[in-house]
Amino acid sequence: MTRFSHVALNCRRLDDTEEFYTRWFGFRRTQHFDLGDSQIVFLRSGDVYLELFGLREPVQEAGRPTADGPPAPGTVRHIAFQTEDVDEFVRAMGTAARITLGPLDFDGFIPGWRTVWLTDPDGVVVEVSQGYRDPQPCQGGHGER
């Protein structure tokens, strides 16, 4: 069984994009990861997440693909779903699983978080992960009251 997880967006200015979604659409920051050359912020509204990718160096080529989706600002990087077991999900897909990256473990961030990226028939990157959860209590950020 799967359920919708999040939409990932590439951002020219991460702070501006985060403020837009928190101010106008009621999202709140639940996670922030600093990866050195980029930052990732998870925003949540109810059961819906946005994953914001802030790149320190602007990408000049709109079409330059990455394994987890196109990096150009203003584009959707990938859509994502959660499942109980990533490996079982991939096994069940068989040859229909056109994997672009992973499966990878992110235990360094959240124990049990595991993810694989694959493409749909039109080339849209789809992330399937298990074990992602918010910290308790949620970390602060834009929109926290």
Are the C-beta atoms of 49 and 5 separated by less than 8 Å? yes
From CA 110, how far away is CA 99, in angstroms rounded? 22
Q: What pLDDT is attached to residue 62?
A: 52
User: pLDDT digit of tens for each residue in the chain (145 aa)?
Assistant: 888 889 888 887 889 889 888 898 889 999 999 988 889 999 998 988 989 988 766 555 555 567 888 777 777 788 888 899 999 999 988 988 889 999 999 999 999 999 999 888 767 788 999 999 888 765 555 554 3
CATH class of domain segment(s) 2-130: alpha beta
